[in-house]
A = this chain, B = another copy of it.
Amino acid sequence: MKPVRIKPKRPDLWDEQRVSVRTVERLSAYRRVLEELNGAGVEHVYSHQLAKSVGVTPAQLRRDLSHFGTFGSTARGYNVEALIRAISSELGTDSVQNVILIGLGNLGRTLLSYNNFEDRGFHIAAVFDIDSDKCGKVFAGRRCYHLDELEQVAPTLDATLAILATRRTGVEELITRLSQLHINCILNFVPKTLVPPPGMFIEDVDISSKLEKLSFLAKNVSFLEETPELTE
């Protein structure tokens, strides 16, 4: 997996700054635990505490954060609220982003009423489907448009993210249309392997694939890693 070059928000990091995608994924995990700590009234946390909760090594946590700046203070660790703000800023979730949802079947409706998105800085602004019975109606506070209206409605929403929860037929054309609308980030629930056009990111959510992974692990139990013996 190739690293991503990050934009030099901080001038002192200009030249060769690269961040691994794995680091970005862990950022989410850190923030989630930090939110829990914040809710519990914790103000400061050490890298070994946070690392243990997330399931990584303290060194990894410190290295991950070091790509984006210096957030810790010696002997007091990290300020929880400040670190939440810093990570949110990096992830781009410090202000709410509009997302469009395509496909209003069982899964689509479940996603619509899934509060976790709003908590984490994403707002499903509009829904599209091909079923004319659904179009024009309002689901969980969001109006459903016909997919044919995508080109008219989407540009008014200032969305760069789309969630795909349709059937398998016609997904490729849909990807092309989204690409033309400059909606370049796709969260894809359709169980079909898609080759993204240049400049587009497709993130697959394949639940069966995760089950397959677990199934493999269950069969091949002998682990290399011993218990890391992290002390609190």
CB of A66 within 8 A of chain B?
Answer: no
Residues from chain B with Cβ under 8 Å of A205 in the complex: 205, 207, 210
Question: Taking A110-B106, A201-B217, A215-B161 as contacts, is the C-beta distance between A3 and B224 under 8 angstroms?
Answer: yes
Cβ proximity bits A208-227 to B, threshold 8 Å, 1 near / 0 not: 11111111111111111101
A46 interfacial contact with B, CB 8 Å: no
Interface pick from A19-27, A69-77, A126-134: A19-27
This protein's copies in its complex:
2
Task: Pick the most buried of A19, A93, A214: most chain B CB atoms within 10 A of its CB.
Answer: A214
CB contacts (< 8 Å) of A212 on chain B: these are 24, 27-28, 31, 91-93, 120-121
The 8 Å CB contact of A211, one of B187, B211, B220, is B187
Does A180 make an interface contact (CB < 8 A)? no
Query: Considering the chains assembled together, what is the distance between the CA atoms of A54 and B194 in angstroms?
Result: 8
Could you mark each residue 86-100 of chain A with 1 if its beta carbon is under 8 Å from any beta carbon of chain B, else 0? 000011110001010
Q: Does A166 contact B (CB under 8 A)?
A: no
The 8 A-B pairs at the shortest CB distance, nearest first, are namely A28-B209, A185-B214, A120-B208, A92-B215, A110-B110, A2-B225, A106-B110, A91-B212
Given A28-B209, A161-B218, 18 more A-B residue pairs with CB atoms under 8 Å apart are: A2-B223, A2-B224, A5-B220, A6-B220, A21-B213, A27-B212, A28-B206, A28-B212, A97-B215, A106-B114, A116-B207, A117-B208, A122-B208, A122-B215, A187-B207, A187-B211, A203-B214, A205-B207
